[in-house]
Amino acid sequence: MRIRSLLSSRLVQWAAALALALAAGCSALPRITPEMAQRRAATPVQVEGSHGLLSPARSKAILDTLKSRRQDTNIFERHLALEEAVAGGPLVAGNKAVLLQDGPATYQAMFAAIRDARDHINMETYILDDDEIGRRFADALIAKQQQGVQVNLIYDSVGALQTPAEFFQRLRAAGIKVLEYNPVNPLTARVGWNINQRDHRKLLIADGRTVFLGGLNISGVYSGSSASRPAKRAGATLPWRDTHLQIEGPVVASFQKQFLETWQKQHGDALASRNYYPTLASRGSEVVHAIASSPDDEFGAIYATLISAIESAETSVLLTNAYFAPDPQLLAALKGAAARGVDVKLLLPSTTDSALILHVGRSYYDEL
């Protein structure tokens, strides 16, 4: 009876998600115009360091250094003005950023950060599968919780729809704070709920000092290395390749703020008192702007800055995308960049889990 009850509950959730998906249309993407930047064009771009906002002279010196690394001439003046106008918040200097090129490199670094955590771990993900990788993360997080490190987890209700409830119950039983983002069950949904309002953010924050972010969910599909191209075998599932970043430095506080704001907006349980905002010293020379988007926003700040960057580029645009289905504005931005002599390169998948998106994307190849 219990198995039948669980199965029925899962089917109800699937049916509700499907029905609401058909009834709800995707929100329109914003039209990005130069006027969006004019509101802030007269205001110098601000840079923040480990001790707060830097002086205008110091901010200008850092931006001049960034410009000197490239052949571009006006990209920062144009793009950063719009970026600040639509995304808000200052650039943050003094960070160390490490590129993690595939799943094995990312998971290895994430497990090390979990192992070394001493105060708290905040984790946010779209997909958290109940497979070998997912269970390894669950075991690692439970072990830290048992050591007195507070673990707080946000997962998306649709992204983890196939993960059994027992998986999360085990985490809760160990003392981990678990929040289901925008539950698909309409009986418990908040007012204004929409199936398209999903949490695709991927964050792992250890002790408020180190943050991981990028494209990887928690799933065994990312276990393959990108060092070599796997041979295609009949019936075999090809591994997914995605990219992640590991960042240390003052900007980590911005990502911590995003996590805690999401927890609050989703009415999560009261969090245990921890040192969520430790003093952060400079760890490197990278200047980072933490840009966040949420379903509650009027438009996507990340999308807006992407379009701005392409339209401001003067030498090259390198873009990789798993699901390439460009809207008219992105298509125009890419074609416009190529027309003015910018070297535009797109890295797109040869196979995918969505045949529809694959063929839609390929329909634009000749035009591009």
Domains and CATH numbers, the chain: 98-226+237-265 (3.30.870.10), 315-368 (no CATH)
- Is the pLDDT at 18 greater than 50? The verdict is no
Q: Identify the pLDDT of residue 27.
A: 42
Q: Identify the pLDDT of residue 82.
A: 65
Determine the Cα–Cα distance for residues 67 and 51; give it in Å rounded to an integer.
Answer: 24
Q: Identify the pLDDT of residue 7.
A: 42
User: pLDDT grade, residue 89 (50/70/90)?
Assistant: confident
Burial class of residue 100 in the structure, from the number of CB atoms within 10 Å of its CB (0-12 exposed, 13-18 middle, 19+ buried) = buried
How far is C-alpha 44 from the geometric centre of its chain's CA atoms? 28
Of 338 and 298, more confident: 338
User: pLDDT grade, residue 22 (50/70/90)?
Assistant: very low
Q: Identify the pLDDT of residue 70.
A: 54
- Is the pLDDT at 223 greater than 70? The verdict is yes
Pairing of strands 120-125, 150-156: parallel
Q: Identify the pLDDT of residue 300.
A: 75
Q: Concatenated DSSP letters for 152-174?
A: EEEEETTTTTTS-HHHHHHHHHT
% of residues, the chain, pLDDT over 90: 55
Q: pLDDT per residue over 121-150, tens digit each?
A: 999 999 999 999 999 999 999 999 999 999
Of 153 and 182, more confident: 153
% of residues, the chain, pLDDT over 70: 71
Q: Which residues contact 252 (CB under 8 A, 6 or more apart)?
A: 205, 208, 209, 210, 211, 280
DSSP letter assigned to residue 323: S
Q: pLDDT per residue over 236-283, tens digit each?
A: 577 888 999 999 999 999 999 999 999 999 999 999 999 999 999 999
User: pLDDT grade, residue 3 (50/70/90)?
Assistant: very low
Q: Identify the pLDDT of residue 49.
A: 63
Q: pLDDT per residue over 338-347, tens digit each?
A: 999 999 999 9
Measured between alpha carbons, how far apart are the two ends of the chain, in Å?
56
- The single residue listed with the structure tokens 């995308």 is 321
- Is the pLDDT at 17 greater than 60? The verdict is no
Averaged confidence pLDDT in the chain: 82
Q: Identify the pLDDT of residue 268.
A: 95
Q: pLDDT per residue over 105-124, tens digit each?
A: 999 999 999 999 999 999 99
Residue type, 195: I
132-146 and 103-116 helices, crossing angle to 10° = 10
* Short-list 215, 216, 214, 277, CA closest to 251: 277
Q: Identify the pLDDT of residue 308.
A: 84
- Is the pLDDT at 359 greater than 60? The verdict is yes
Determine the Cα–Cα distance for residues 250 and 267; give it in Å rounded to an integer.
Answer: 27
- Is the pLDDT at 162 greater than 80? The verdict is yes
273 φ, ψ to 5°? -70, 120
Contact 202, 125 (CB under 8 A): yes
Identify the three-state secondary structure at position 283: coil
Q: Identify the pLDDT of residue 202.
A: 98
Of 294 and 79, more confident: 294
User: pLDDT grade, residue 206 (50/70/90)?
Assistant: very high
